Amino acid sequence: MVGIVLVSHSWKIAEGIKDLALEMAQGFEGIRCAAGLEDKTIGTDPVRIMEAIQDVDSGDGVVVLADLGSGVISAEMAIDMLEGSVKVQLADAPIVEGAVIAAVEASIGSPFEKVLEETEKTREFHKIQS
């Protein structure tokens, strides 16, 4: 099953997003937060992100979602540190909408490419119809 890692500067934000995603994909257990620093203060840590990716990897791939600039940089560093040992991709998607769709797709057994594709489609979601 495809795993998901949420990278945020804020532990509280990531945990909230995880809760929402799991509400929509009940029973799914393949999602981890790599958020904040070890003491739960604001920040990102490539080593913690790398460890979360390894933890959630079942061999089917891992989709990573990140919040802001340095979170993206830290996620990219973590992926580089894995040196290709895990099939992993940082999704170009909003973290909240992307996490919900990724969790739903992963929970129904969609393959990595489909989870990533549907997650990245959330960039096009319109919240207000004109």
Sheet strand arrangement including 62-66: 31-35, 3-8, 62-66, 88-90
Q: Is 63 helix (H, G, I), strand (E, B) or coil?
A: strand
Among 2, 9, 49, 102, which one carries the catalytic annotation?
A: 9
Whether residue 126 lies in the annotated active site: no
Catalytic residues: 9
